[in-house]
A = this chain, B = another copy of it.
Amino acid sequence: MCGIVGIVDAGGVSFPLYYALYALQHRGQESAGISTFDQRPYVHKGRGLVAEVFDEQILGRLRGTVGIGHVRYPTTGANLPENIQPFNFVFREHTLSLAHNGNLVNTDELRTCYEQDGQIFCTTTDSEVIATIIAHEIRRSGLVEEAVAAAMRELQGSYSVVLTLDDALYAFRDPLGIKPLCIGRTNTGYIVASESVAIDALNGTLLRDVRPGEMVKITESGIRSTQIADSDRKAHCMFEFVYFARADSIIDGTLVYDARRRIGEELARGATADADLVAPVPDSGTAYAIGYSGVSGTPYLEGLMKNRYMGRTFIMPTQAMRESAVRIKLNPIRKHLEGQSVVLVDDSVVRGTTSRRLIDTVRDAGAREVHLRVGSPPIIAPCYLGVDFPTRSELIASARQTDEVRDLIHADSLYHIPLEKMVEAIGIEIGHLCTACLTGQYPVEVPGECCDHRCVAFRRDSIQTRLDLD
Contact = CB atoms under 8 A, between A and B. Distances in A.
A14 B183 CA distance: 48
Number of copies of this chain that the complex holds: 4
Contacts of A80: 43
A214 interface: no
A56 interface: yes
A202 B121 contact: no
Contacts of A283: 308
Given A308-B26, A321-B15, A328-B23, A120 B115 contact: no
Interface in A335-356: 335-336
Contact of A122 (B22, B52, B88, B324): B88
Nearest to A247: B305
A197 B309 contact: no
A301 interface: yes
Contacts of A124: 90
A322 to B, nearest CB: 12
Interface string A111-125: 110111111111110
A200 interface: yes
A331 interface: yes
A449 B431 CA distance: 68
Interface stretch (A154-162, A171-179, A286-294, A396-404): A286-294
Contacts of A45: 81
A15 B317 contact: yes
A299 B294 contact: yes
Contacts of A336: 257
A311 B40 CA distance: 30
Interface in A101-139: 111-112, 114-124, 128, 131-132, 135-136, 139
A261 B336 CA distance: 12
A49 B327 contact: no
Interface in A207-232: none
A274 interface: no
B118 A119 contact: yes
Given A23-B331, A82-B82, A335-B258, A50 B309 contact: yes
A49 B309 contact: yes
A302 interface: yes
A201 interface: yes
Contact of A331 (B114, B200, B305): B200
A22 B328 contact: yes
A100 B3 CA distance: 36
B112 A120 contact: no
A91 B290 contact: no
A132 B305 CA distance: 39
Interface in A20-56: 22-23, 25-26, 29, 40, 43, 45, 49-52, 54-56
B317 A302 contact: no
A94 B212 CA distance: 35
8 contacts: A15-B321, A45-B81, A51-B309, A54-B315, A92-B112, A114-B118, A246-B305, A257-B336
Interface of A: 15, 18-19, 22-23, 25-26, 29, 40, 43, 45, 49-52, 54-56, 59, 78, 80-82, 87-92, 96, 111-112, 114-124, 128, 131-132, 135-136, 139, 197, 200-203, 246-248, 250, 255, 257-258, 261, 283, 286-287, 290, 293-294, 299-302, 305, 307-311, 313-315, 317, 321, 324, 327-328, 331-333, 335-336
